């Protein structure tokens, strides 16, 4: 017990010697004025381990208007100094102050700042001359600052704004998607708005083409006007029913043999899911339609070709169907080399075939528009043949002549 007490007595003086001395004061100076006669030492009235400088009054009256820097360090009772700390501060001129002018610029074009004057004591109202800035349509940023009558500038402020084109504005394109990504969603669908409109009922005019997302889905919409400007993104929860382009068109009905420059009608079987049809006609023909039937005017002799129809909807076009149509009308063979004539054409049933010689034709066949044989005979040799179709139905017929191992087809229209 005696040794333990002695140890405590011996340690006590050592602990007292290792204590940190109290802080005795501080000194400060401004800017670069750190010479011995420029630094100001301020002693603490109550030295201690912790001091507060928040209420200290510093002699800064000799400093001019503008930016300055305060340097300060502490000293303890052993005469040791702390590291030097510093703080920057600004001295403003004495008031009153009046805002008298300012300047602004757009985006990063600070080399072309526009100045303006203000009435002292009045409200600050700035009209921006956007055409003078040569700003394009879209989002921009204006930077501006104010200056008082002492020549001091404020901090630079900035505001975003949007430059739009003058109207009228019409909606020309709709795009929508469901994938919640900031850029390039994989299921984005774009649909032209034809004709352009000012109001669009989005729910009724949307097709969700080949979407993998079905059922209740958050769908994002955006509209573009005729000036290339996009709307904000609109989000709607929609019960999605996925659709696709319509199936292939099938079976065009109409004559396959027609007179030149005649009026004809062709009709395609209605295709499920189709909202329109695209018709393609041979060169020289005329006619337009977006339905499954089209009225046409045929071309000149020799302008044979394919009548093609394709069914479509907002998701695209299906596969086409086609019908090859041959034109006739003069009774002169298409190659123009045999010299065989058929007249009258059109006919009410009785017609004459003029041959270039008395050898006539070894065989004469007549086919209707469906390709069925309605007459097959071997006429006697003569340069004039009479053909009687008065008992046949109205329509287009092909008269085929076999002579000298050569076949000549003549088209004739039977009308009552």
pLDDT tens track for 226-272:
888 888 898 988 887 767 888 888 789 888 777 788 889 999 999 98
pLDDT for the residue numbered 14? 34
Burial of 325 (0-12, 13-18, 19+ CB in 10 A): buried
Same domain, 157 and 194: no
Residues 71, 145 within the same domain? yes
What CATH number is attached to the domain comprising 364?
A: 2.60.40.3080
Report the CATH number that the domain containing residue 263 is assigned in CATH: 2.60.40.10
pLDDT at residue 15 above 50?
A: no
Per-residue pLDDT at 120 exceeds 60: yes
- Do 234 and 295 share a structural domain? no
Answer whether residue 35 is part of any domain. Answer: no
In the chain, pLDDT over 90 holds for what percent of residues?
30
Residue 304 domain-assigned (yes or no):
yes
Position 364 pLDDT exceeds 90: yes
pTM for the model stands at 0.38
Cβ–Cβ < 8 Å for 234, 222: yes
**Paired strand residues for 142:** 106, 159
Residue 150 near residue 93 (C-beta atoms within 8 A): yes
pLDDT exceeds cutoff 80 at 126 = no
Task: Select from 397, 390, 392 the least CA-distant residue to 413.
Answer: 397
Answer yes or no: is 7 within a domain.
no
> Which residues are paired to 195 by β-bridges?
none
pLDDT of residue 410: 87
Percentage of the chain with pLDDT > 70?
89
pLDDT, average across residues 164-190 = 85
The last residue of one of the domains, among 328, 353, 388, is: 328
Range of the domain at 238: 171-243
Provide CB contacts within 8 A for 290, sequence distance 6+: 276, 277, 278
Tell me, yes or no, whether 308 and 392 share the same domain: no
The reported pLDDT for the residue numbered 354 is 83
Number of domain units in the chain: 4
In-domain check, residue 290: yes
Across 385-392, average pLDDT: 92
- What pLDDT, in 10s, does the model give residues 58-69? 888 888 888 899
| Within a domain: 21 | no
Q: pLDDT class for 3, splitting at 50, 70, 90?
A: very low
Burial of 51 (0-12, 13-18, 19+ CB in 10 A): middle
Which range (10-14, 98-102, 299-303, 407-411) has the least confidence? 10-14
Other residues' Cβ atoms within 10 Å of the Cβ of residue 242: 14
* Domain C-terminal end among 205, 225, 243: 243
φ/ψ (deg, to 5) at 112: -115, 60
pLDDT attached to residue 52? 75
Same-domain status, 236 and 258: no
Whether residues 92 and 155 share a domain: the answer is yes
Say if residue 304's pLDDT is above 60: yes
**Residue 378 domain flag:** yes
**Residue in 248, 251, 271, 267 with CA at minimum distance from that of residue 318:** 248
pLDDT given for residue 324 in this prediction:
83
Write down the pLDDT at residue 242: 67
Closest CA to 339 of 396, 406, 388: 406
Domain assignment present for 299: yes
Q: Are residues 186 and 137 in the same domain?
A: no
- pLDDT higher at 9 or 399: 399
Provide the mean pLDDT of the chain.
Answer: 83
Residue 204: pLDDT over 50: yes
Question: Are 302 and 360 part of one and the same domain?
Answer: no
Buried b (16+ CB within 10 A) or exposed e, 262-282: bebebebeebeebeebebebb
Residue 8 lies in a domain: no
pLDDT at residue number 128: 67
Per residue in 321-357, pLDDT (tens digit) is: 888 887 865 444 433 456 788 888 888 899 888 888 8
Contact indicator for 193, 171 with CB cutoff of 8 Å = yes
Last residue of a domain, one of 185, 218, 243: 243
Most confidently modeled range among 189-193, 203-207, 222-226: 222-226
pLDDT of 62 = 85
Do 118 and 150 share a domain, yes or no?
A: yes
Per-residue pLDDT of 78-102, as tens digits, reads 999 999 999 998 887 777 888 889 9
Are 131 and 178 contained in the same domain?
A: no
Q: What is the mean pLDDT of residues 41-54?
A: 81
| 50 CB neighbour count, 10 Å cutoff | 6
Using a CB cutoff of 8 Å and minimum separation of 24, what contacts does 147-153 make?
A: 147/99, 147/100, 147/101, 147/102, 147/103, 148/97, 148/98, 148/99, 148/100, 149/97, 149/98, 149/99, 149/100, 149/120, 150/65, 150/92, 150/93, 150/97, 152/92, 152/93
Where residue 133 sits, what CATH number does that domain have? 2.60.40
């Amino acid at each position: 017990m005696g040794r333990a007490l002695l140890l405590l007595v011996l340690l006590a003086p050592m602990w007292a010697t290792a204590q940190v001395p109290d802080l005795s004061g501080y000194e400060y100076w401004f800017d670069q004025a750190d010479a011995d006669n420029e630094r100001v030492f301020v002693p603490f009235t109550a030295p201690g381990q912790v001091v507060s400088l928040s209420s200290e009054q510093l002699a800064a009256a000799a400093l001019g208007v503008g930016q300055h820097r305060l340097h300060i360090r502490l000293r303890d009772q052993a005469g040791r100094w702390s590291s030097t700390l510093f703080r920057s501060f600004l001295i403003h001129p004495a008031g009153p102050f009046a805002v008298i002018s300012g300047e602004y610029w757009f985006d990063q074009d600070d080399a072309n700042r526009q100045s303006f004057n203000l009435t002292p004591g009045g409200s600050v109202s700035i009209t921006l001359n956007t055409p003078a800035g040569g700003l394009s349509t879209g989002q921009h940023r204006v930077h501006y600052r104010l200056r008082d009558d002492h020549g001091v500038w404020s901090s630079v402020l900035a505001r975003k704004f949007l430059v739009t084109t003058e109207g009228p504005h019409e909606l020309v394109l709709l795009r929508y998607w469901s994938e919640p990504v900031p850029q390039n969603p994989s299921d984005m669908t774009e649909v032209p708005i034809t004709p352009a409109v000012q109001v669009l009922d989005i729910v009724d005019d949307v097709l969700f083409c080949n979407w993998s997302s079905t059922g209740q889905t958050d769908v994002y919409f955006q509209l573009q006007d005729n000036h290339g400007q996009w709307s904000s993104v609109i989000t709607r929860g929609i019960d999605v029913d996925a659709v696709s382009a319509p199936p292939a068109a099938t079976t065009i009905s109409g004559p396959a043999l027609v007179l030149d420059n005649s009026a004809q009608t062709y009709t395609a079987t209605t295709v499920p899911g189709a909202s329109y049809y695209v018709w393609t006609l041979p060169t020289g023909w005329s006619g337009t339609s977006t339905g499954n039937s089209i009225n046409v005017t045929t071309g000149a002799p020799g302008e044979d070709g394919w009548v093609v129809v394709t069914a479509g909807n907002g998701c695209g076009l299906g596969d086409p169907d086609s019908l090859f149509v041959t034109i006739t009308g003069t009774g002169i063979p298409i190659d123009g080399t045999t010299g065989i004539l058929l007249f009258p054409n059109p006919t009410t049933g009785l017609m004459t075939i003029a041959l270039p010689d008395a050898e006539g034709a070894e065989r004469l066949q007549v086919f209707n528009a469906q390709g069925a044989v309605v007459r097959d005979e071997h006429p006697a040799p003569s340069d004039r043949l009479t053909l009687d179709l008065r008992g046949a139905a109205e329509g287009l017929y092909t008269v085929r002549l076999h002579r000298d191992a050569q076949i000549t087809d003549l088209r004739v229209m039977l009308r009552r």
